[in-house]
Amino acid sequence: MTKSRNRNQLSVTAKISIITALITMIGVLATDYFSYLSNRTLVEFPIRTTQTAEAYRIILTESSSHAVDILSIGFVSSGWMGDIQGLNLDSFYSENCYSNPNCIKAIWTPSNSDGWTGVSWQYPASNWTDKPGCNLRGARAVSFWAKGDSGGEKINVVANLSKTKVWIEGGVITLNKDWTNYNIDLQNKDLSNVSNAFGFFVDKKANPNGATFYLDSIEYIGIDIDQVKCP
């Protein structure tokens, strides 16, 4: 009877010891496992972050290369202003253009007392905001290339005449004899109804004898052709 009780007690004690050992072992294994996961995360997280950042940078770079040429979506040079008798505009000039095959050549020889002239690219033709224009939302800037015939010509460039009838001024630029890229910032501007996408003004004060200059690749940057909606 006593031996049997001792065996039962031993058996219970052994069971408790085994269970305690198992619990301890499980605890150690769990601690090691979570420590492993923690260390693994610390090692891999920067790699994932770097890869994500790199992908994001590539997306931004590709996005920044998206552009829509205003001529390709139907804007035309119909908005002539000021001394238009003294202005000659050749939209199909083909010599030494920045982007073949054609570019725009403007020659202004003052012919009257107005003392200035200008042209605006409009959609549709002759639209001075009295008709709906194009939705160009998403564009960040107007980019264009320009050069002067002699260098030193001064032109004032503008963009985005819409229902507000307020031009976004690009300012007066002094042209070089070599093709140079210029941009007009359009960020945070309402581009939902653009009737006049781009324009230039030339005046006699800055150009006493007139001016001959060239324009090419007038583009809205940051959007694709399928994002543009024109009526």
DSSP secondary structure letters along 159-178: EEEETT---EEEEEEEPPSS
Based on the fold, state whether residues 95 and 19 are members of the same structural domain.
no
User: Can you tell me the distance from the alpha carbon of 30 to that of 124, in angstroms, rounded to the nearest whole number?
Assistant: 72
Mean pLDDT, to the nearest integer, of 91-120?
Answer: 95
Last residue of a domain, one of 65, 86, 106: 65
Which pair of tokens denotes residue 164?
A: 């507000």
Query: Position of tokens 């543009």?
Result: 228
Q: What is the pLDDT of residue 15?
A: 60
What percent of the chain clears pLDDT 90, i.e. is strictly above it?
Answer: 65
Q: Answer for the pair 173, 155: CB distance below 8 angstroms, yes or no.
A: yes
When comparing pLDDT for 208 and 27, which is higher?
208
Based on the fold, state whether residues 56 and 76 are members of the same structural domain.
no
Based on the fold, state whether residues 98 and 212 are members of the same structural domain.
yes
Based on the fold, state whether residues 4 and 78 are members of the same structural domain.
no
Q: What is the pLDDT of residue 165?
A: 77
Based on the fold, state whether residues 39 and 82 are members of the same structural domain.
no
Q: What pTM does this model have?
A: 0.71
Q: Is the pLDDT of residue 202 over 50?
A: yes
Q: What is the pLDDT of residue 126?
A: 96
Instruction: Convert the pLDDT of each residue in 33-53 to its tens digit.
Output: 444 433 433 222 222 222 333
If DSSP codes are grouped into helix, strand and coil, which group holds residue 123?
coil
Mean pLDDT, to the nearest integer, of 9-23?
Answer: 61
Based on the fold, state whether residues 161 and 215 are members of the same structural domain.
yes
Ranking 45-54, 116-125, 140-149 by mean pLDDT, the lowest is: 45-54
Question: SS3 for 6-28, per residue?
Answer: HHHHHHHHHHHHHHHHHHHHHHH
Last residue of a domain, one of 65, 85, 104: 65
User: Can you tell me the distance from the alpha carbon of 46 to that of 40, in angstroms, rounded to the nearest whole number?
Assistant: 11
Q: Answer for the pair 145, 99: CB distance below 8 angstroms, yes or no.
A: yes
Share the mean pLDDT of the chain: 81
Based on the fold, state whether residues 80 and 174 are members of the same structural domain.
yes
Q: What is the pLDDT of residue 49?
A: 26
Q: What's the number of domains the chain is made of?
A: 2
When comparing pLDDT for 111 and 46, which is higher?
111
pLDDT band at residue 20 under the 50/70/90 scheme: low
If DSSP codes are grouped into helix, strand and coil, which group holds residue 44?
helix
Domain that holds residue 45: 1-65
Based on the fold, state whether residues 144 and 30 are members of the same structural domain.
no
Q: What is the pLDDT of residue 161?
A: 84
Q: What is the pLDDT of residue 78?
A: 97
Last residue of a domain, one of 48, 65, 82: 65
Mean pLDDT, to the nearest integer, of 155-170?
Answer: 87
Q: Answer for the pair 142, 186: CB distance below 8 angstroms, yes or no.
A: yes
Based on the fold, state whether residues 202 and 94 are members of the same structural domain.
yes
Based on the fold, state whether residues 208 and 137 are members of the same structural domain.
yes
The CATH number covering residue 77 comes to 2.60.120.260
